[in-house]
Structure 1
Amino acid sequence: MRRARLRRFPRGRSRSTPTWPSITRWTNRFFVGLLREATLLRCLMKKYLWVEDGFYKGARELRSVFEERFADPRQGHSDRFVWDFWHVPDQYTLLRTPAMPYFPAATFEPFLDRLADWGRDVLGCAALSPPWLSYYIEGCQQQFHSDVPHGPWAYVFSLSPPRQVFTGGETMLLRPQVLDYWRSFSDAEDREHASFVERVAPKFNRLTVFDPRLPHGVTPVKGTMDPREARLVVHGWFTEPRPCLRGALRASQVARPLDEAVGRFTEALAAEGLWHGVLSVRIKVAASGLAAVPEVLADTLVPVDADPRNGKRVRAALLRELGNLKFPKAKTASVITLPLLFR
């Protein structure tokens, strides 16, 4: 039952998770090719990383569950035997367990609700994959890899000690320009590690969200063998991108105008080659029915078989179509989060 709950929105929020009459048609329109090696990533990865501190007000309660179970190292109760030591030579070394059975439901489900709300409002993703809980002691790490099949966005929520004694444990991302190194190369300056790799420290109560297509990993942890002092994270993927509607308008009132706008954009896109990624926008609709200029929330669009110099034109065409919409009048304003999938 718990596993199934992750696949839908929290109860009591049906208005924000409408069944869109044309969602299948939207999805099919934007699966415009198969994923191939994207070699022209420069300047097109605009919003591929979020870092939000102080994400969840109940973070200390979550951490206390872990601390209590490791409080006495001489105790051998069953909660201590749920950890899988996952070691793949030259790739992964860490200890992990499914997060949902580990935490009491009353403690963990409010966190999942908070995370799902964030993913829906910012990314336009309707669900979460079953989350993992992992800790990293001396020697634990992850080498560079990518997670393309799991979901369009990966997340790492840190429950590491507020006062850290270990070093390392940063989430590391290969910067997008490295994947198209020569296009952005300049012989006028030297480049060092920070020019190629972006690192995010596992600060307590920090949410890190990133595009999992980018090669990423975890730097080696050093300085402790004590689980209570380890890098501790809840991690997984945001899944099922779909439109989200909040406010007075009904799904049936907004589906047709959006469908028509997306259709016009799709026709224009046919001449621009193949693109891959997710572009999510937020459209604010006044009670009068007039839509404001869309706000780009997430943009991981990259050219697969297209000219990268046309990226601005592609995005401008989409915003132009979505910015000229007129919806029926309503008692109050509404907000539409619209994720568009390019495949």
Structure 2
Amino acid sequence: MIRRQHVAADFFPEAEAMRAAYDEKVGNAYRQAIEWQYFCDPRMYTYLRTAPQQVFAQPLWRRFDRHMRQWCMEHAGLVPTGEPNLHLMVNGCTLGLHSDFQNGTLGFVYSLTRWESRKFAGGETLLMRDGVPSYRKHHVQGEVLYELVPARFNQLLLFDDRIVHGTPTIQGSMDPLEGRIALVGHLRAASPVVTAGPLDEAAAREVIAGFHRSLAQPLKPFKEVQGVTSLRLAVAADGRVESVEVLTDNFVTAQSGYEADDDVAAARALVLDAAAKLRFPGAGGPSKLIAPVLLPLPDLRPVEIVVAHAGQAAVLHEALKAQLKEVEALGFRVEVQGDSFAVREPLAGTIRIESHRIVAFFDAPMWVPSQREHFQAALAEKLGMLARYAG
């Protein structure tokens, strides 16, 4: 189970191929054609970043992306949000202390840095420890206050996005081959997904939506508990839940952090007990389902976006089909199904182009309000641009 943080060593079998691709791209300054963004806010950040497709050949990148998504769903019950950035940090680069709770549930750092032979100081991921200020503590400093996680080669680090974190300033070489090289991104909850067996996914999502609604009243006494738990349910052929496995659980309170807390324990027990009592439609055999729960419970209404257009529906349909790569770059996974576009990630839903309007309809996300608002705004902007294209 993933709680505050998790390290997976030897993460990707083709890590050496990824590092070789990077070395080949940047090894000769006269042939280097990567479009780096120099991301600098002098108060907070200084580093270089680019899209991973600038460095890795498409087949290799697809294999990494598939491995990452499968691993995260299997072990965390969460999915990556869009494409990660490839970060390069050389002498003088730094990431100041910050929190990313608006970006996801867990942050991740996948390192391609030759850590054991590095020629620089700094570059670890600094994670602030929990703790309430107290006069009983005297002259605390260093790793009493924070933890430093080395960016070892082929290591995936996951950590709670609410934790204040950063990267100490790199002191050493300016050579891009000798810097800190890592893929950086975020994971968040997706719609419930059937990972094995014949259980109908749409029907399963309806059951989970009812499960979320049923939690509202019992959880009212625990309004200080916040976080995400992702559950894997083993469902028998007759629809009974045979077991509940917790994949991610970062329930905390602002007062206790990750320390033991009675309210956290009670809220967790309530969620697990309710999940164990769920009943799904019967199917032809046993199934497995992954479903998240966010506390405090978010807005449980589905997401619906309607954009008027004055064009021809068939033309718009073809235009959207041609732009799917751009849409997927926002983190969507889309399939064309007849006259509609079925979306699998980050939320299950559909986009339909009707005679005078474009309608997008999605499950209610287990996201904090700012994440939901950003999702709605980004999709509305994309659909608005499509509608204007038709006009």
Confirm or deny a common fold (TM above 0.5): yes
CA distance in 2, matches of 1:218, 1:306: 25
Relative distance call for 1:336 and 1:303 in structure 2 (3 A) is: same
Aligned residues of 2:235 and 2:243 also touching (Cα < 8 A): no
Q: What's 1:339 paired with? A: 292
Pairing 1:204–2:160 present: no
Answer yes or no: is 1:61 the counterpart of 2:17: yes
1:158-169 superposed matches below 5 A: 158-161=111-114, 163-166=116-119, 167-169=121-123
Q: Percent same amino acid among aligned pairs?
A: 27
Structure 1 contact 243–338 (Cα < 8 Å) conserved: yes
Q: Is the aligned partner of 1:311 residue 2:261?
A: no
Alignment partner, residue 181 of structure 1: 133
Q: 1:221 aligned to 2:170?
A: yes
Shift of 1:233: 0.3
Alpha-carbon RMSD: 2.8
Tell me whether 1:272 sits opposite 2:226 in the alignment. Answer: no
The unaligned stretches of length 5 or more in structure 1 are: 1-45
Q: Does 1:83 align with 2:36?
A: yes
94-103 vs 302-311, greater mean Cα deviation: 302-311
1:165·1:223 contact (CA, 8 Å) conserved in 2?
no
Following superposition, the deviation at residue 314 of structure 1 comes to 0.7
User: Is the Cα contact below 8 Å between 1:291 and 1:325 reproduced in 2?
Assistant: yes
TM-superposed CA distance for 1:56, in Å, is 0.6
Quote the Cα distance in structure 1 between the aligned partners of 2:151 and 2:169. 12
| Alpha-carbon contact 1:100-1:131 (below 8 Å) kept | no
Deviations 1:277-319 (A, max 9, x none): 2221111223453323422221222336999641111111111
CA contact (8 A) 2:77 2:248 kept: no
Q: Does 1:251 align with 2:207?
A: no
> Which residue is equivalent to 1:106?
59
When normalised by structure 2's length, the TM-score is 0.67
Distance 1:186 1:328, change over 3 A: farther
User: Runs in 1 of length 4+ with deviation above 4 angstroms?
Assistant: 189-192, 304-308
Which residue of 2 is the match for residue 71 of structure 1?
A: 27
Question: TM-score normalised to the size of structure 1?
Answer: 0.76
1:123 paired with 2:79, answer: no
Deviation per residue, 1:165-210 (Å, 9 max, x gap): 23321111111x23x334xx855x9854222212211100000111
Structure 2 residue runs of 5 or longer lacking an equivalent are 296-367, 369-391
Give the AA of the match of 1:300: N
**2 CA distance for matches of 1:173 and 1:127?**
20
Query: Does the residue aligned with 2:292 lie in a helix, a strand or coil?
Result: strand
Check whether the contact 1:55–1:205 (CA below 8 A) recurs between aligned residues.
Answer: yes
Q: Which residue of 1 is the match for residue 343 of structure 2?
A: none
AA aligned opposite 1:69: K
Structure 1 Cα separation of the partners of residues 71 and 133 of structure 2: 33
- Whether 1:297 aligns to 2:247 is yes
Q: Distance in 1 between matches of 2:256 and 2:142?
A: 30
- Kindly indicate whether the alpha-carbon contact (under 8 Å) linking 1:136 and 1:232 is maintained by their aligned counterparts in 2: yes
Question: Following the alignment from structure 1 to structure 2, what is the Cα–Cα distance between the partners of residues 285 and 317?
Answer: 19
Contact preservation (8 Å) 2:192, 2:290? yes
Q: Which position in structure 2 is the counterpart of 1:322?
A: 275
**Which letter does structure 1 place at the counterpart of 2:122?**
G
Determine the C-alpha separation between the residues in 1 that align with 2:189 and 2:250. 16
Q: Is the 8 A contact 1:272 1:306 kept in 2?
A: no
> Which string of whole-angstrom CA distances, capped at 9 and with x for unpartnered residues, describes residues 16-47 of structure 1?
xxxxxxxxxxxxxxxxxxxxxxxxxxxxxx70
Please point out which of 210, 213, 232 is paired with 1:263: 213
User: Matched residues in 2 for 1:260 and 1:78: separation?
Assistant: 54
Contact 1:86 1:95 (8 Å CA) reproduced: yes
TM-aligned CA distance change 1:84 to 1:104, over 3 Å: same
Look up the equivalent residue of 1:261 and give its one-letter code.
F
- 1:146 paired residue number: 99
SS of the counterpart of 1:314?
Answer: helix
Report Cα offsets for 1:57-111 as digits up to 9, x if no partner: 1111111111112333xx423515x222322223212121122233221121111
- Partner of 2:385 in structure 1? none
Distance 1:193 1:97 in 2: 32
Residue 119 of structure 1: CA displacement?
Answer: 2.6
Distance 1:165 1:318, change over 3 A: same
Q: Does the Cα contact within 8 Å between 2:235 and 2:242 map onto a contact in 1?
A: yes
Closer, same or farther in 2 for the Cα pair 1:186/1:334, shift >3 Å?
A: farther
Secondary structure at the counterpart of residue 253 of structure 2: strand
Q: Distance in 2 between matches of 1:293 and 1:227?
A: 49
The equivalent of 1:194 in structure 2 is 143
**Higher RCO (CA < 8 A, seq sep 6+):** 1
How many equivalent residue pairs?
291
